[in-house]
Amino acid sequence: MQIGVPAETMAGETRVAVTPETAKKLVAQGHTVRVQAGAGLAASATDEAYRAAGAEIVDAAGALGCDLVLKVRGPSPEELALMKPGATLVGMLNPFDAEGLQRLASAGLTSFALEAAPRTTRAQSMDVLSSQANIAGYKAVMMAANQYQRLFPMLMTAAGTIKAARVVVLGVGVAGLQAIATAKRLGAVIEASDVRPAVKEQVESLGAKFIDVPYETPEEKEAAEGVGGYARPMPQSWLDRQKAEVAKRVAQADVVISTALIPGRPAPVLITEDMVKSMKPGSVIVDIAAGKGPNGHDGNCPLTEAGKTVHKHGVYIIGETNLPALVAADSSALYARNVLDFLKLICPKDATAVQVPMDDDIVAACLMTQGGEVKRR
Ligand code: NAD
């Protein structure tokens, strides 16, 4: 089969869906791999490396005109115009973007959004949310450490002692866990909060302290269990108590990393303006939920501005919206392996056409459009 790998065109998107490593494997499986010239450059993959892996270097039309197109982000209207009706697209297509999916359906594409894969053991190797959130959690701490005008570890020097940084992590999914692990490696003292009770043990196993907010009603307990491992909106009574506990920690914190998300809904507001005002001058907030908050530009903090670092009430608030793109080589390496694993389900070795086995729960969950219709379940 002809597999196309276009260069990403979305602003700031540096990742690429196929690396020389995975291109080589696709070629070994009998496929023709057509990579747009320069597609991997921002991720440290040169055209020469793709050629050495057996891929052809083509222009945008050559990559987008293939039977199977592998991308990081959904195509722009210009890219869509270069794709063939009946072709298959695999990428992070945003299953909640109804208009975007309708455009893919109208273009006659069979499309798969990898973010929709279930969080099951079998799907783990193709779980793009996890592979990219892991990198986001790491990079968030790196950015905080860079912005923060003090050190993370406690240092006892001849010139006196420097205190360890206090880090608060809000939302302990994949990104939050990696943020805790990274801050710990740098020597910080860490506290973390999440709605899901299962997280407490994971937080403690990484050497951080869990901010306990006990559930007082059956309704609170049931909401906290979430669905499919994901959080659900919590009752206001619990959120009010969580806010009081978090506010105390945030006032003492040097760095806050917030990652709280609820699929298909605006990110919850966890760091209010009053909490920001209570922080010490020079403290840093990295809001990984930037751009997903109730007003679009914000995140877990209403003062966050997506895509910018702002300085408000003496606190730096980092609203970077694509942290994995700042670590393009490794995020592409993991993403490309996720894609390769997903292809085993729809494009087995020597296949001449894409298959859509709807009895496979991962394929069925990821299928977004087919036969001119939006199929998202
Ligand atoms: P996510 O990005 O959807 O959300 C980040 C975190 O924010 C979650 O832990 C969520 O509980 C938390 N959150 C939401 N509202 C909050 C609030 N008001 N206060 C504090 N925290 C809040 O999460 P994710 O990283 O995609 O992980 C989602 C789930 O999937 C987790 O249970 C994770 O363990 C699970 N998972 C399973 C697998 C697997 O089994 N293959 C792989 C990866 C993740």
Q: What is the ipTM, given to two decimal places?
A: 0.95
Half-sphere exposure of 137 (CA within 13 A, CB side): 25
Candidate from 96, 194, 201 with most ligand 1 atoms within 8 A of CB, to mutate? 194
- Do 107 and 193 reside in the same domain of the chain? no
Phi, then psi, of 233 in degrees rounded to 5:
-60, 135
Task: Give the pLDDT score at 147.
Answer: 98
Residue 195 CA, ligand 1 centroid: distance in Å: 9
What are 132-172's pLDDT values in tens digits? 999 999 999 999 999 999 999 999 999 999 999 999 999 99
Which pairs with CB-CB distance under 8 Å and at least 24 residues apart come from 198-206? Answer: 199/172, 202/172, 202/177, 203/172, 203/177, 206/177, 206/180, 206/181
Tally of domains within the chain = 2
185/255 same-domain check? yes
Is 296 a pocket residue for ligand 1 (Cβ < 6 Å)? no
126 in any annotated domain: no
Domain membership flag for residue 211: yes
Catalytic residue numbers read 119, 124, 127, 130, 230
Can you give the pLDDT at residue 222? Answer: 87
Is residue 333 in some structural domain?
A: no
pLDDT at 349: 77
CB burial of 233-255 (b: ≥16 within 10 Å; e: otherwise) equals ebeeebbebbbeebeebbeebbb
Same domain, 143 and 242: yes
Helix (H, G, I), strand (E, B) or coil at 133: helix
Ligand 1 centroid distance, CA of 231 (Å): 6
The pLDDT, as a whole number, for residue 226 is: 79
pLDDT of the residue at 103: 97
137 Cα: distance to centroid of ligand 1 (angstroms):
13
Q: Say whether both 167 and 271 belong to one domain.
A: yes
365 within some domain: yes
- Residue 355 vs residues 88, 304, 370: alpha-carbon distances, Å: 10, 43, 12
Atom of ligand 1 at shortest distance to CA of 175? 25
End-to-end Cα distance, the chain? 28
Positions of the chain with pLDDT under 70: 377
331 occurs within a structural domain: no
Residue 281 inside a domain? The answer is yes
For residue 40, is it within any domain? yes
> Tell me, what CATH number does 24's domain have?
3.40.50.720
Helix residue spans in the chain (DSSP H): 20-28, 47-52, 60-64, 77-81, 98-106, 128-147, 174-185, 199-205, 218-225, 236-252, 273-278, 328-346, 361-366
Backbone angles phi, psi at 227, to 5 degrees: -145, 130
- Express each pLDDT in 322-362 by its tens digit: 999 999 999 999 999 999 999 999 998 777 899 999 999 99
Under 8 Å between Cβ of 285 and 258:
yes
C-beta neighbour count of 21 within 10 angstroms: 15
Look up the pTM and report it.
Answer: 0.95
Supply the residue whose CA is at minimum distance from atom 35 of ligand 1: 229
What pLDDT shows up at residue 165? 98
Residue 279 and residue 185 share a domain: yes
Residue 172 Cβ < 6 Å to ligand 1: yes
Q: What pLDDT sits at residue 65?
A: 98
Q: Do 226 and 283 share a domain, yes or no?
A: yes
Measured in Å, residue 243 CA sits from the centre of ligand 1 at 19
Give yes or no: residues 264 and 308 share one domain. Answer: yes
Q: Is the same domain home to 255 and 308? A: yes
pLDDT of residue 231: 77
The span from the CA of 333 to the CA of 335, in Å, is 6
Structural domain containing residue 171 = 134-326
241 and 96 within one domain: no
Residue 90: phi and psi, rounded to 5, are -125, 130
Residues 279 and 153 in one domain: yes
Domain contains 297: yes
The predicted pLDDT at position 16 comes to: 98
* Same domain membership, residue 367 and residue 249: no
pLDDT at 135: 98
My answer on whether 197 and 279 are in the same domain is yes
How would you label 177-191 residue by residue, b for 16+ Cβ within 10 Å and e otherwise? Answer: bbbbbbbbebebbbb
